[in-house]
Structure 1
Amino acid sequence: ISAAEPRLALRAALVGEALRPAETTELWAETRAGFSAPDIAGAFADVTLLEAASERDEAVAIAVALKRAVEQPGQRAALVTGDRALARRVSIELQRFGVVADDSGGTPLANTPAASLLRLALEAVFRPGDPMSLLSLFKHPLLGLGLERADVRHAAELVELVALRGGTGRPDIVSLPELFEARLIGLGSDSRPPFWFSRLTVRSIEGSRNLLERLAQALAPVAAFRGQADIDLAALVEASVVALENLGRTADGSLGELYAGDAGEKLAELLRGLVAASAPLSFAGNEWPDVMAALIAPETVKPAQGTDRNIAIWGALEARLQTVDTLVIGGLNEGVWPRKPESDRFMSRLMKTGIDLEPPERRIGLAAHDFQMAMGMKKVVLARSARAGDAPAVPSRWLQRLLTFIGNDQAVELRRRGDELLAWARALDTGPRQDFAPRPQPKPPLSVRPGHFSVTEIETLRRDPYAVYARRILGLIPLDPVIRDPGAAERGTLFHAILHMFSARVADPRAPDALAGLIAAGRACFADAALPADVEAVWWPRFEKLAANIIEWDRTRADAVIRRHAEERAGKTIVSQSGVTLSGYADRVDLLAGGMADILDYKTGSSPSKAQAHTLLAPQLALEGALLRRGAFKDLGAREPSQLAFIRLKPNGEVFEESILEHNRQPRTATDLAEEAWARLEKLLIHYADPTTGYLSRALPFREGETDGDYDHLARVLEWSAGGDAGDEGGEA
């Protein structure tokens, strides 16, 4: 073994002193004096400190450092890190230089396309109810089913629209063909079908039916085991392999794409081993996805050929016995160098000490040894990022010790060399300056602007005019959300339907059978809703508690009410001089003596608030009062509003009436509030009758910073708001 170069030996001595045990660091003052500044500068002349602002910047700079290191023929470079996420980032960044790094860690088999197809298929069969798993399976690039890929994709899109979007439910891949047919029939009989329904053709529907039939046949081998409590491993593996190959078969019957490349060969090898395994093992069918995931998890895919042998990515263990010309030590933050000691799941620290097992901290010492050995390479780049994820990162204790020991002057020089790498990394993505997209404010011709609104659209017109432009003028209708479990919106709709049915059936809440009538209406609506058993088990007791309180509240006002009207429709009414018409629905209108009426709006949630309604940020209730005064409710005639109120139906069963006529000790009459809302609406509509007025994006958002509107992506909200074009955008608390 040849002696180390003098400067490498000096560097080793300096690193050794920096990493001396904490109990002896008081000796630094003495030992530091033994190293002169020129000696330290010479020892660290080929050491670079790269401190990036983010993990991505760190990965790009490391890729640049590795590429530069092998520019000279015969030179080799490597990255050593325990952070697999960083290793994957660097591998991707190296590909922009046409370099496929020799990564000793490889790619987890579970992340490869073929393995993910198997995982999605098993989850779809044994974990029914998740529409996202089904969508992922339908859109998987390897799903063939013996059809052309384009045909599979087109048929899957129709299945998604018909069976997996809109409404609530828990789709099951076994019964998906029946669900598709039932929802297709329902859409055909719907008075207001979705915008895409008219575009369906017989050919496209038959294509989707064929896809679902083939999918059911492909998964039949594993679906047969669903619900069984004791299944042999070998039988399940064989069935899973058959199902996987059925799914991945191309139009010509080939399995070449499924088992293509190193990843496909690795999966085939694993499955062959499982089929041939003789160890007895049995478990319940619904455990099979987890068992298969556990079997696949340790497996990695390492490219057999095609990698660049001059650039490698190693873990600390591989780096111990290998030498390169340039070594990058990446991820030099606490938690990576060193890793946090993990508690043993089965043995406590005290138990380990009692039987002379090594404590978790011993691995910290081994990691320190790995760091010192890595510092012995000829050229070293120390790399870290200032942030890990969304949180600030703490530099590795060894990096802190090293920089402290060699002094600030040397640390500045190391950082200067690192800044050069960062500058080159930033230059890779430097291009002509592009201005941020401006905040959209389209100004369509008056002839295409809406001439009619419903009362529920007025708040949108005030808050986000661009959404009105996109929906009403461009005709862009958002797709229904993915089918889901019933939530707050569905609960509100259900309770509204119950109260409407009750009002139609029971004229007087003071009747002895009023509560029974409300319960009967509830049972009928719950039956129509066909809720999942676990959801109904929560909602029904909540409704029963509400029912008694609803009757009690209704009886307190029954003496003053002449007649109750549920879900009354207000016809189109011209808004003064604007020429635009307005219509709407009222949840409930109670007729009183003297030509008066109360307008009530049932609310199962907290939005809109009383303050928003009183200040006319949410003007729906006040506009209904204005429509009532103008006789828009044809069956009621022109009446004066006496009360405008929300009826809050709380989850704990509480029912209370919340008038919007008073806020912050400022009372208003219903007539005044209704007329002010009408005057503001007229002014707003006249404003949009001006051809120079545009439909501004997010004029008055509900909350500052929210970007989940149906048309926010079309308006490029994230882009123009990041560019500083949100100065006049406000929000509500």
Structure 2
Amino acid sequence: MTSGVYNIPITAPFLDCLAAGIWERVNGNLIELTDVQVILPNRIAIRAIAKSFLRLSPNPVVLLPKLSTITDEQEYFLDWKAKPDSDEAYALEILPAINDLQRNLELMHLIIGFFHTYANGNISYTPGQAYLLATKLSHLIDEMQIHELCFTSLKDLVPDSYASSWDKTLAMLTVLLKGWNTRLKELSLVDPIVRRDALIRAKASYLLAKQPNSLIVVAGFTNLIPATAELMKAVLGLPNGAIVLPGLDIYSDELTWNAIANDPNHPQHGMNKIISTLGITRVKVQYWSPSLSSTGRDRLIHEVMRPAVTTNVWCNLFTAVGGPKPADFEKIIKIEVPSSREEAEVIALLMREVLEKPDKNAALVTNDRDLARRVSNELHRWQIRQEYGEEIAIKDFGSFPLSNSVPAIFMRLVLRAAIDCSPVALLSLIKHQLSNCELTSERLELAVRVIDREVLRGPRPPTGLAGLLKFVKTIILSKTINQNAADLLFHFCEWLSKALGPLEVALSNPSILLTDIMDIHLRAAEMFATSHDTHGSLRLWAGEDGEVVAQLFRDFIDVACALNPIAGADWPELFNMLLEKRVLIPHYNMNARLHILGFAEARLQTFDRLILGGLNEGKCPSKPQLDPWMSSRLMRRNFGLPDVDLTTGQMAHDIAMAMGVQEIFLTRSQRTGSNPTIPARWLLRLDTVARLLHSEEKLKFWQELPSYSYTLLDMPKVFDPGQQPRPQPRLNQRPRRLSVTQIDTWLRDPYSIYARYILNLRKLAPIDMKVGAAEYGKAIHDALGAFVHDYPQTLPSEPNKVLIAYGKRSFAAYANSLSIWAFWWPFFERVASWFIKVEQERRKSLDYSTIERKGTIAIPAPGGTFELFGTVDRIDKNSDGSYSIVDYKTGLNPTLSDLKDGRASQLPLEAMILLARGFSDIVATDISSLEYWRVGLGNQSGRIDLVDKIVPDLISEARSGLESLIATFDNEKTPYYAAPYSHYNLRFRDYEHLARVGDW
């Protein structure tokens, strides 16, 4: 008599073999097949085995057995509900389960209430922080209920054995769990695990009571919980009940098998527990079908996974009888590449190759979501869907946080923009694919362009919608933009105020109902999503991810109406936490030929080519998550909770089953970003066994498959460096007017003049530009200039106080910039003191000063008159009738060699304009000095670098040099080179990327 427990070896396709065994047992009779009941771990396995039955049938259609997961509520398991008068266990009414969102919100409410009541206001949690703690508490509750532990047992743990804070955690847990049980009774609900276990036990009771004669199979389970154990025992007690295990180790000796029982990291630990719980021995476990048998690959896999305490037998592995052989490494291919990007490229090539073989499929199985995304992008790069059709489309089943979906990102951007209306947040929102702002696409594009260029570039506008509107009105009044653009800008900003205003007010509300702030948030999002002809709700909630986000909000509103108000400022954190803790699982197409799966989704499935990717420690297996409630292994063990390494053991079993595929690739990157990685433990074990069997070459990738030279994929056949640009515009296109500050640029980098004045390209200011040295320079110029303008001859009675007042007025434009006031303002105060001392001494020999004077002169040239213009910071008329030209510098002053070599020609050229009477009413015949005043940098308050004796020579050289430069570029054959003098370092090179300097 058989035990009723069967095994399908690792190298056999589990679901295909399971279906074939059932088919054999009913002799292909479709009527009998429909009476068979098959219980599998998940819905993916159900869909996959349905295809297995279809392949077995000689007809294009087939009647299927009753397929279910262990928690399904099909009628054939729930007809006990029709017998409420029965006193049998399976007739008990089971309360509905609370959903995860409602449970987390209710627990959040309890946690906030606990700190309010018991912490006396010394500890406070924001709703977002409390929600995160609630999710961890939900996980602890689930674990306790899975393993049938009572919270009253917490008091039996000895606080002295743990950290001193454990007694406080214990007290908090006791209050929260007691309050939670009370709340569940009020809601007439139960925890999800309670309902699930009740359903499983109801199935077990039903089967034991009915004793059906039809075949009932429980298959594919790799771990055991108490409720599942009852169901399995019930199935074994039936006339035709069967338990089918995936990949049971039938090779290990008893010493090894006993070691597995104590090693939760081992892939067979769960199997060991199932066997012992069912009260049978491995020798009584038979193969599911007579045609099944073990292979060398099976022995190799079990040897690689051998428990650490028995690995001493590896010393004799090469000569061991019945052990793995070098031939067993056939088609196990290991790939190590330097980076994650290269790993993705190799995997994509491996998957792409499968499409060349009809009816073949491939799958990437990985825990690394970043790697999965990279591979998916590489595959889409080759336009597989368009070339091969929908039936072989790439399907990525791995779940990811709902916060990464398009509607969720849009909702978060709406919040971000309402918080402070920062340029980056606002532009991200109005440029999002879902934004239409109640406009046509053309009108929206124009509005975005205007607000981008005219408002949101440069230093940040004042905070908030009111600050933005005030800033926009200032721009419009300045008349720097045309009237049409000004009207569009004003109306668009008014609309922004209408759309975001209520949410901005709600976020500043100290107490607001969750339902109210959610409703305001949704209305704002729908306004932004509304186009000129379609309401926002139809665009925002469309598609699979839109439906999931909408359902989250519906669930939230149903629960939130019973919760206490929160501060509006806490809503963004709570909202982000709600999204992070909900996952989006895309629709899965079983007919796809290329799959990207997580380990859980790939369980029990078989593919022609399987790639295990991202095999690095920390990803495979993942690091155990920190638990704020049960922080130590000893604490969990004493309480009765399973070891955290059980998840590692489950992953080890998934990897062992995956290695049974005929063709498998094992890939890893040696670095992730800039960080070195460590190979996954199972990869190291495989390497070790390969070396012991002298089979290292079997795992070499590059020698066996040289065609995968992925590094050549994007490499050009010929390297052709770019040519230095040599634009030669016609003479009538060349500029005939430049400022004195542009002459140095013209000399050092003519291409910049070409791009700016011939192509009319102007560099845009950065978005939300950081306020720094440039803004400090402008503020100090304004302050010093205003002071000299108002007091050109004599100083006021308290000059230092007056200058400080001018400084505050100049710095007021940067009132929102902490860096200006914290870092630059102290510099200005030191400069003010130094400047007044200099002025007090200087005014003794000074007639008057004038500032910001604009001057211009005409210079005859071969191509026609050339106009030179400039604005001088300051001109001083000295008592002896001579003049001095002053330039305020917040950076480094030019050196004397710079002046002599013509690399700093600004002041000599301004002096030339002054002598030529280019500054209207100023008639100068003698310029005694050119002065650079360095104001407020480093430890110095200020410094004056003065040039006096060689001024005439500098002016003469500057004029002759300028005339020569003009004449040179009046020749149409003279190109506008990009940086012709490599030894000249320009401080600003705005057009370097346009000239593609790096290419040549």
Does the Cα contact within 8 Å between 2:882 and 2:924 map onto a contact in 1? no
Alpha-carbon distance between aligned partners in 1 of 2:398 and 2:615, rounded to the nearest angstrom: 18
Deviation at 1:695, TM superposition (A): 1.2
Match of 1:267 among 549, 557, 561: 549
The yes-or-no answer on 1:80 pairing with 2:365 is yes
Aligned residues: 695
Match of 1:12 among 291, 296, 301: 301
Letter in 1 for 2:828: F
In structure 2, relative to structure 1, the CA distance for the partners of 1:597 and 1:51 (3 Å cut) is farther
Alpha-carbon distance between aligned partners in 2 of 1:140 and 1:311, rounded to the nearest angstrom: 30
Helix, strand or coil for the counterpart of 1:566?
A: strand
Match of 1:494 among 774, 779, 783: 779
Match of 2:431 among 130, 134, 139: 139
CA deviations over 1:518-557 (Å, ceiling 9, x no partner): 2333344345x37337567535555334322221233354
Structure 2 equivalent of residue 226 of structure 1: 507
Does the Cα contact within 8 Å between 2:858 and 2:868 map onto a contact in 1? yes
Deviation at 1:442, TM superposition (A): 0.6
Deviation at 1:225, TM superposition (A): 1.1
Alpha-carbon distance between aligned partners in 2 of 1:384 and 1:277, rounded to the nearest angstrom: 45
Alpha-carbon distance between aligned partners in 2 of 1:577 and 1:370, rounded to the nearest angstrom: 82
Match of 1:384 among 640, 646, 668: 668
Alpha-carbon distance between aligned partners in 1 of 2:969 and 2:357, rounded to the nearest angstrom: 67
The yes-or-no answer on 1:170 pairing with 2:459 is no
Alignment of 1:172-251 (within 5 A): 172-173=464-465, 176-177=468-469, 179-186=471-478, 188=479, 193=480, 197-198=481-482, 201=484, 207-251=488-532
CA deviations over 1:346-370 (Å, ceiling 9, x no partner): 7766985896788878876765565
Helix, strand or coil for the counterpart of 1:256?
A: helix
Alpha-carbon distance between aligned partners in 2 of 1:440 and 1:497, rounded to the nearest angstrom: 40
Deviation at 1:686, TM superposition (A): 3.4
The yes-or-no answer on 1:297 pairing with 2:580 is yes
Helix, strand or coil for the counterpart of 2:538?
A: coil
Letter in 2 for 1:264: G
In structure 2, relative to structure 1, the CA distance for the partners of 1:326 and 1:11 (3 Å cut) is farther
Helix, strand or coil for the counterpart of 1:68?
A: helix
**Identity across matched positions, percent:** 30
Alpha-carbon distance between aligned partners in 2 of 1:162 and 1:319, rounded to the nearest angstrom: 53
Alignment of 1:258-407 (within 5 A): 258-278=540-560, 279-304=562-587, 308-339=591-622, 370-390=654-674, 395-396=679-680, 398-400=682-684, 402-403=686-687, 405-407=689-691
Structure 2 equivalent of residue 46 of structure 1: 331
The yes-or-no answer on 1:553 pairing with 2:553 is no
Structure 1 equivalent of residue 41 of structure 2: none
The yes-or-no answer on 1:113 pairing with 2:406 is yes
CA deviations over 1:169-213 (Å, ceiling 9, x no partner): 235346645543442222x2xxxx3xxx34x53xx6555555444
Structure 2 equivalent of residue 101 of structure 1: 394
Alpha-carbon distance between aligned partners in 2 of 1:288 and 1:69, rounded to the nearest angstrom: 48
Does the Cα contact within 8 Å between 1:170 and 1:484 map onto a contact in 2? no
Deviation at 1:34, TM superposition (A): 4.8
Unaligned segments of structure 2, at least 5 residues: 1-6, 12-293, 386-391
Alpha-carbon distance between aligned partners in 1 of 2:599 and 2:425, rounded to the nearest angstrom: 37
Shifted more, 347-356 versus 617-626: the winner is: 347-356
Deviation at 1:496, TM superposition (A): 0.5
Alpha-carbon distance between aligned partners in 1 of 2:331 and 2:878, rounded to the nearest angstrom: 91
Helix, strand or coil for the counterpart of 1:690?
A: coil
CA deviations over 1:16-36 (Å, ceiling 9, x no partner): 36xx64x98887554356599
In structure 2, relative to structure 1, the CA distance for the partners of 1:293 and 1:698 (3 Å cut) is farther
With normalisation by structure 1, the TM-score equals 0.82
Helix, strand or coil for the counterpart of 1:532?
A: coil
Alpha-carbon distance between aligned partners in 2 of 1:88 and 1:421, rounded to the nearest angstrom: 24
In structure 2, relative to structure 1, the CA distance for the partners of 1:181 and 1:517 (3 Å cut) is closer
Does the Cα contact within 8 Å between 1:613 and 1:619 map onto a contact in 2? yes
Alignment of 1:652-667 (within 5 A): 654-659=940-945
Alpha-carbon distance between aligned partners in 2 of 1:568 and 1:401, rounded to the nearest angstrom: 80
CA deviations over 1:99-138 (Å, ceiling 9, x no partner): 543323235322332222211111111x214111111222
Alpha-carbon distance between aligned partners in 2 of 1:509 and 1:354, rounded to the nearest angstrom: 86
Deviation at 1:697, TM superposition (A): 2.4
Letter in 2 for 1:157: R
Deviation at 1:266, TM superposition (A): 0.7
Letter in 2 for 1:277: V
Letter in 1 for 2:903: L
CA deviations over 1:78-105 (Å, ceiling 9, x no partner): 2122211111122233332225433232
Structure 2 equivalent of residue 153 of structure 1: 445
Alpha-carbon distance between aligned partners in 2 of 1:422 and 1:607, rounded to the nearest angstrom: 58
The yes-or-no answer on 1:590 pairing with 2:882 is no
The yes-or-no answer on 1:518 pairing with 2:803 is yes
The yes-or-no answer on 1:89 pairing with 2:374 is yes
Structure 2 equivalent of residue 728 of structure 1: none
Helix, strand or coil for the counterpart of 2:526?
A: helix
Structure 2 equivalent of residue 599 of structure 1: 885
Helix, strand or coil for the counterpart of 1:86?
A: helix
Match of 1:620 among 906, 913, 933: 906
Alpha-carbon distance between aligned partners in 2 of 1:331 and 1:619, rounded to the nearest angstrom: 60
Structure 2 equivalent of residue 730 of structure 1: none
Letter in 2 for 1:12: I
Alpha-carbon distance between aligned partners in 2 of 1:361 and 1:677, rounded to the nearest angstrom: 79
Does the Cα contact within 8 Å between 1:349 and 1:359 map onto a contact in 2? no
In structure 2, relative to structure 1, the CA distance for the partners of 1:421 and 1:327 (3 Å cut) is farther
In structure 2, relative to structure 1, the CA distance for the partners of 1:211 and 1:504 (3 Å cut) is closer
Alpha-carbon distance between aligned partners in 2 of 1:178 and 1:389, rounded to the nearest angstrom: 44
CA deviations over 1:455-497 (Å, ceiling 9, x no partner): 2112322343222101111223344443546433222111101
Deviation at 1:424, TM superposition (A): 6.5
Does the Cα contact within 8 Å between 1:644 and 1:659 map onto a contact in 2? yes
Helix, strand or coil for the counterpart of 2:971?
A: coil
RMSD: 4.0
Shifted more, 26-35 versus 370-379: the winner is: 26-35
Does the Cα contact within 8 Å between 1:352 and 1:359 map onto a contact in 2? no
Deviation at 1:682, TM superposition (A): 3.9
Structure 2 equivalent of residue 68 of structure 1: 353
Helix, strand or coil for the counterpart of 1:277?
A: helix
Deviation at 1:435, TM superposition (A): 4.4
In structure 2, relative to structure 1, the CA distance for the partners of 1:298 and 1:350 (3 Å cut) is closer
Alpha-carbon distance between aligned partners in 2 of 1:317 and 1:137, rounded to the nearest angstrom: 36
Helix, strand or coil for the counterpart of 1:134?
A: helix
